[in-house]
Chain A
Amino acid sequence: MNAPFGRRACEVTDSHASGGYRVFSLSDPEGPAPEPGQFYMLATESHWEGRDGRPFLPRALSVADATPAPRSRFGSHSEPNLYGDGVRLDFLVEGIGPGTDRLCELEVGERVWVNGPLGNGFSMPRELSENAAGAILVGGGIGIAPLALLRRRLSARGVPFRILLGFRDAAHSGGLGDLFPGCQMSLASDDGHVGHHGYVTDLLNAMLEGDDARSAAVYACGPPPMLDAVQALCASHDVPCELAMESPMACGFGACYGCAVPRPDGEGYIRLCVDGPVVRGA
């Protein structure tokens, strides 16, 4: 479904700290519900341009969860994309600059300009390979966000999945309890504070060496070195993968050509906003 043309002001319904990050929720009465992997361009309605004139551009954030808004007359929460209007959007944000810092300060009741949902979402495993019966979700740091909505989708479709998440340290482990409540998952941390003392890609490697992993598709989001490692592991095990990537973005809808990343399959560049942010691993 197409995004509504233009930006709309949506009310903040929740905002709280979560392991060094913030989780905030917006009420989007116009919908539509996003696909897992899609993103929104966000800017606060007031006090966006701060004392030094920044932030100026909206910020691109992957949607971490989407549920039919309470006012919805539909009962099921399993597949929010079926409903045309009224959705609560959850985002995970880390304050790393003027834009994300401002989003970390959001207060319940204030309004945020929303443009989206934008970009291409994740495919289902069978769409990536006829043999792919299940999914392996690999997330690093703030990159766990889009995998949360993907998990919900896979669950609703009855697709088996396993979750592997990695963190630098406790301060970069936000969103776990909020976005993956009650989920079975394997964790890794660079500092060993939780789970495997090492990289999440160690866990992926061990899993791909196992018997049944050849029938899986891998979905990854995280820092570029992690995505490179995931892509290399999947290529060497002949397992299809999709990567949710990130790039500075001015517009999010193909207008500015600013979010160019090298074309995975050859020369030139793609615009991550309209040709991604989910791209097929080489």
Chain B
Amino acid sequence: MPEFCGIELAHRVVNASGTFDAIAARRVYGDRLLEDFPFSAFVSKTITLEPRVGNPPQRIWETPAGMINSIGLPNKGLDGFLREDLPLLGELPVPLIVSVMATGHDDFKRMVAALDERGEVAALELNVSCPNVHSGLIVGEQPTETVALLEALRPLTRKPLIVKLTPNVADPAAVAVAAAEGGADAVSLINTIKAGAIDPATGKPGIGVGQGGLSGPAVRAIAVAQVRAVAAAVELPIVGMGGISSGADAAEMLAAGATLVAVGTESFRDPRAGNRVAAELSKRSERSP
């Protein structure tokens, strides 16, 4: 059984945050979802301190071998999540990782402290692809901001802290080193890559807010390179993701230095992609010593 930050997992395939809503999926597919849960741990959609309605449409745009999204983190806010969603996510048959984002240390601290008290939560993923309202800088783009955030949060919980790295920087490994210095237990990468499209029918951006993030097989080679660079720079376990849609893709990411892989966009095409990638991966490892 693979182990990740002290958590035992049934296999090496988890979901990318924001690409699988286990509560909605259970309403659609019923308890078959629980019997055949696609992931060995479940990563929640990012929550923020206050509720958010998300971005105006259009939120998605298909691209060659991928898609652009700009969803805008719609969520119920911390209180709504704790009250309504966490009890349901606690019923999942796998460990729960909660993704959190805030625009300042105080909000981040309130969320981490509140989630630290909940037994349903196995680990926290910090979504740092957001500006710090005090400095105006995107936390995850700056090693100094990243280390400062981790140093603020680390004393608040013993649960594993996973830092979700953005690919939209010249040197993601430098940010990973900063996360390690600040006391992170793991890093996950890549988040989506800044991208845009023009609607040929209107001549205007295909995404309502103008641009979004690219995901899918189109980004996989970039993800492999960044995971490899980060693995060379830090000792931390890595959750590798970006366009993984098969066992072969997962094996490539593990060979690049990942401990776990996450399936994201492929779940939109195949809701059981997580199970399938895990099965294909296990078949591969049986074949090779």
A residues in contact (CB < 8 Å) with B: 2-7, 43, 49, 52-58, 113, 115, 118, 247-251, 253-261, 267-269, 271, 274
Contacts and interface: CB of A to CB of B under 8 A. Distances in A.
Nearest to A1: B30
- Interface SS, B side: loop
Contacts of B25: 253-255
Interface in B254-270: 265, 267-270
Contacts of A6: 270-272
Task: Give the interface centre of A2, A118, A271 by most chain B CB atoms within 10 Å.
Answer: A2
A261 B65 CA distance: 25
B20 to A, nearest CB: 5
Contacts of B57: 247, 260-261, 269
B270 A258 contact: no
B218 interface: yes
B60 A53 contact: no
Nearest to A267: B53
B27 A254 contact: yes
Interface in B33-72: 33, 36, 45, 53-67, 69, 71
A179 B71 CA distance: 37
B27 A274 contact: yes
17 contacts: A6-B270, A55-B62, A56-B216, A57-B62, A115-B271, A248-B61, A251-B269, A254-B24, A254-B25, A257-B21, A257-B45, A257-B74, A261-B57, A268-B74, A269-B53, A269-B74, A271-B24
Interface of B: 18-21, 24-25, 27-30, 32-33, 36, 45, 53-67, 69, 71, 74, 216, 218, 265, 267-272
A260 B24 contact: no
Nearest to B51: A268
A2 B216 CA distance: 28
Per CB-CB distance, the 10 closest pairs between chain A and chain B, nearest first, are: A254-B24, A53-B64, A258-B60, A2-B30, A6-B272, A268-B53, A251-B268, A53-B65, A5-B29, A5-B32
A254 B21 contact: yes
Contacts of B269: 7, 43, 56-58, 113, 251
A3 B29 contact: yes
Contacts of A247: 57
B36 A56 contact: no
Contact of A56 (B18, B55, B65): B65
Contact of A52 (B64, B69, B265): B64
Nearest to B66: A56
A257 B21 CA distance: 9
A258 B71 contact: yes
Nearest to B271: A6
Nearest to A53: B64
A249 B27 CA distance: 18
Contact of B29 (A2, A248, A250): A2
Given A55-B62, A253-B24, A258 B271 contact: no
Task: Give the interface centre of A43, A54, A118 by most chain B CB atoms within 10 Å.
Answer: A54
A254 B24 CA distance: 6
A255 B62 contact: no
B104 to A, nearest CB: 24
Given A5-B36, A268-B53, A253 B271 contact: yes
Given A3-B29, A7-B272, A258-B71, A251 B64 contact: no
Contacts of B55: 260
Nearest to A99: B62
A2 B53 contact: no
A253 B57 CA distance: 18
A153 B135 CA distance: 60
Nearest to B74: A257
Contacts of B53: 267-269
Contacts of A3: 28-29
B53 to A, nearest CB: 4
A5 B272 CA distance: 7
Contact of B271 (A5, A249, A267): A5
Contact of A53 (B69, B218, B267, B270): B218
A263 to B, nearest CB: 9
A170 to B, nearest CB: 23
Nearest to B33: A5
A45 to B, nearest CB: 12
Contact of A255 (B19, B30, B58, B59): B19
A257 B64 contact: no
Contacts of A43: 269
Contacts of A258: 59-60, 69, 71
